[in-house]
């Protein structure tokens, strides 16, 4: 079975034709439980998210802020395995028909086996991988297997990325480019800032891939701001915080549905 990179590309093309940014949600697998994470991911997709990133929790999540670190710790203490992550991808995609990517550090993929991971992710209906700590110059083995199995390879760029680096990444990547709105770890911010807009402009100038912005977006107003200049708006910590703050599982699902509806309205609202 081939992966769903075409579904991802078609989804981003469709939202562009609709004159809006795509809403991309991030939730870690295994949090609060494996079944609970599957239900939460299906809830956000049903409530209006266009694409979802399933986080593969890691014991040393150096790029993640305290909210996602807390969720990852809960998932790992619950005994989460890569098989559970792949099951999460499969069930979320089968239930909704929407693109599902995995966001993971490189070490778990390398240990699991690069071709094995790509093959099983494709078999699960996955659309690709976001690999925030994989240097593009070391990415050929993954890119080869991802292409063979119909998966996108999404690289992360930051405001500090030089133009030559942006050109290298846009040439090597597929699906879209993940633009980190500012320097630092994931988490909500009071303002997304102008750095993100400038980074999107520079990344688009470097190559043809859609550019989706993450880190710091937590409400409809910020989503609308970013949607003015990006192809996609990525929200993670705000979803995880809603689940962490909920008194029970049902309340958590209601909370993420409500946030999704607000953000989906935001990416469709013009602020200018």
64 part of the active site? yes
Q: Identify the active-site residue in 39, 53, 72, 84.
A: 53
Q: Of 244, 98, 271, which is closest to residue 259 (Cα–Cα)? A: 244
Task: Give the bridge partners for 52, in sequence order.
Answer: 25, 100
Question: Which residue blocks in the chain are alpha helix, DSSP H?
Answer: 5-17, 34-46, 66-77, 82-96, 106-112, 114-123, 140-148, 163-172, 194-206, 220-227, 237-245, 249-267
Q: Of 106, 108, 109, 147, which is closest to residue 128 (Cα–Cα)? A: 147
Q: How far apart are alpha carbons 78 and 138 in whole angstroms? A: 32
Q: How far apart are alpha carbons 91 and 38 in whole angstroms? A: 7
Residue length of the chain: 272
Q: Identify the active-site residue in 9, 39, 50, 64.
A: 64
> For residues 24 and 211, is the Cβ–Cβ distance under 8 A?
no
53 part of the active site? yes
Q: What are phi and psi of 77, to 5 degrees?
A: -65, -20
DSSP codes joined into one string, 153-208: EE-EE-TT--HHHHHHHHHH--S-EEEESSSS-S-B-S---HHHHHHHHHHHHH-S
Q: How far apart are alpha carbons 214 and 180 in whole angstroms? A: 5
Catalytic residues: 53, 64
């Amino acid at each position: 079975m081939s992966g769903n990179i075409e579904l991802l590309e078609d989804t981003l093309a469709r939202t562009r034709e609709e004159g809006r940014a795509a809403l991309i949600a991030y939730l870690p697998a295994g949090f609060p439980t494996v079944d609970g994470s599957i239900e939460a991911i299906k809830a956000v997709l049903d409530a209006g998210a266009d694409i979802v990133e399933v986080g593969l929790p890691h014991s040393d999540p150096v790029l993640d802020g305290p909210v996602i670190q807390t969720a990852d710790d809960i998932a790992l203490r619950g005994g989460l395995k890569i098989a559970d992550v792949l099951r999460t991808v499969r069930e979320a995609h089968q239930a909704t028909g929407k693109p599902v990517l995995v966001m993971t550090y490189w070490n778990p993929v390398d240990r699991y086996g690069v071709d094995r991971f790509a093959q099983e992710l494709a078999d699960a209906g996955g659309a690709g991988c976001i690999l925030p700590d994989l240097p593009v110059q070391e990415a050929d083995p993954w890119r080869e297997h991802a292409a063979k199995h119909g998966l996108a390879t999404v690289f992360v760029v930051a405001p500090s990325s030089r133009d030559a680096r942006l050109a290298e990444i846009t040439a090597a990547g597929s699906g879209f480019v993940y633009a980190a709105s500012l320097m630092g770890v994931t988490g909500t911010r009071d303002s997304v800032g102008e750095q993100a807009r400038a980074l999107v402009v520079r990344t688009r100038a470097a190559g043809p891939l859609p550019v989706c912005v993450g880190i710091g977006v937590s409400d409809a107003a910020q989503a609308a701001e970013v949607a003015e200049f990006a192809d996609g708006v990525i929200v993670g910590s705000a979803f995880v915080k809603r689940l962490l703050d909920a008194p029970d599982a049902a309340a958590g699902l209601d909370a993420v549905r409500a946030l999704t509806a607000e953000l989906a309205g935001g990416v469709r609202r013009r602020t200018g």
